[in-house]
Amino acid sequence: MKVVRVLVLVVGFCCAAVPLAWMALSSIKDRADTIHAHPKVLPVPGTPAGDDSIAFAPTLSSWAELAEVHAGAQASFWSHLGNSVIIGILSTLCSVALGTACAYGFSRFRVPGASDWLFFVLSTRFMPPLAVVVPVLLMYRELDLQGTHLGLVLLYTVFNLSLSVWLMKGFLDEIPRAFEEAALVDGYTRMQAFVRVVLPEARTGMAVTAVFCLISAWNEYGFAMTLNSSDAVTVPAYFAGLAGNIEGMPWPQVAAGALVFVAPIVVFTVLVRRHLLRGMTFGTIKQ
């Protein structure tokens, strides 16, 4: 039994880790080495080009070339990463702010039809983006929001509301009402009690919610690609655009870029690992 268990874990671990390790290796290769018939595993400085061994000469040229504009794209990787950062952070801030307020309302007040509203909010999570993208596109054309950062910020904010409302509702429900009651007795207004007593208590919850909103906006592809062709293209849409590259895929740059793109997500995953279950299930399952 133990042998089976260890075997299962080793295989699983390799499946998860090897593609990412390979990504790191590919990013320090020459393009010829990434498409070599033999696997190039070992970075050995000074390996001659075209060598058939498993060694390859490491190079940082792909990292330098991230600043270049490739065929099939309009700007460099860094500029698209900038778009991802701006859109991700702004939409996350908006989602968490709105979601926290909304969750607080549902958590502490008797809102008529609260349960129905909450499930309405959850159901928007299941909406296929492609079922609303055309009207959104037409709407954005009218409002001149097509291809703008603001357009995507708005869309991702709304897209993540179901997540932030449900997660924050769970976190806020766990904060004892006695805290606010004491504050109200002390003469705070409701709003003051919320801002000075509840919010500090909900810090962890808000941070966790923010991480999940950020990741979801960071990774989104469907809207990013259909609503944008120029100014606000995020990294997933940029990479997808490279796929039709007639010069052949610039694999080392793709690997380097993908590595830069996924590294913060890996860090965040480690940071919120205790809350992953909650975050991934919109708080419908708690640990």
Q: Hey, which residues between 171 and 190 contact another protein (CB under 8 A)?
A: 177, 180-181, 190
Quick check: 240 and 221 in contact, CB under 8 A?
yes
Which of 201, 207, 222, 255 shows the shortest CA–CA distance to 62?
A: 255
**Alpha-carbon distance 116 to 144, whole Å?**
34
The CB-of-197 to another protein minimum distance in angstroms stands at 13
The only residue of 17, 42, 143, 207 in contact with another protein, by rule CB under 8 A:
17
Residues 114-153 that bind another protein (CB under 8 A): 117, 119-124, 126-136, 138-139
The CB-of-184 to another protein minimum distance in angstroms stands at 8
Is 18 strand, coil or helix?
Answer: helix
Backbone angles phi, psi at 58, to 5 degrees: -70, 145
258 binds another protein (CB under 8 A): yes
The CB-of-248 to another protein minimum distance in angstroms stands at 11
Structure tokens at 233: 């293209």
Nearer to another protein, 161 or 197 (CB): 161
The CB-of-136 to another protein minimum distance in angstroms stands at 5
The CB-of-237 to another protein minimum distance in angstroms stands at 8
95: enclosing H helix or E strand: helix 77-108
The size of the interface with another protein (CB under 8 A), counted in residues, is 101
Residues 83-102 that bind another protein (CB under 8 A): 98-99, 101-102
CB atoms within 10 A of CB 104: 18
Nearer to another protein, 126 or 246 (CB): 126
Q: What is the distance, to the nearest Å, from the Cα of residue 263 to the centroid of all Cα atoms in its chain? A: 11
Q: Which listed range, 4-12, 45-53, 65-73, 197-205, lies at the site for another protein (CB under 8 A)?
A: 4-12
| Binding map of another protein across residues 28-67, x = CB under 8 A, - = no contact | ------xxxxxx----------------------------
218 binds another protein (CB under 8 A): yes
Which of 87, 88, 77, 90 shows the shortest CA–CA distance to 235?
A: 77
Nearer to another protein, 57 or 98 (CB): 98
Nearer to another protein, 190 or 203 (CB): 190
**Alpha-carbon distance 259 to 261, whole Å?**
5
165 binds another protein (CB under 8 A): yes
The only residue of 28, 80, 91, 104 in contact with another protein, by rule CB under 8 A:
104
The only residue of 232, 233, 237, 256 in contact with another protein, by rule CB under 8 A:
237
Residue 53: which residues within 8 A CB-CB, separation 6 or more? 38, 47
DSSP 273: G
Write the single-letter amino acid at 110.
Answer: R
Residue 251: which residues within 8 A CB-CB, separation 6 or more? 26, 29, 31, 34, 35
**Alpha-carbon distance 65 to 69, whole Å?**
8
245 binds another protein (CB under 8 A): no
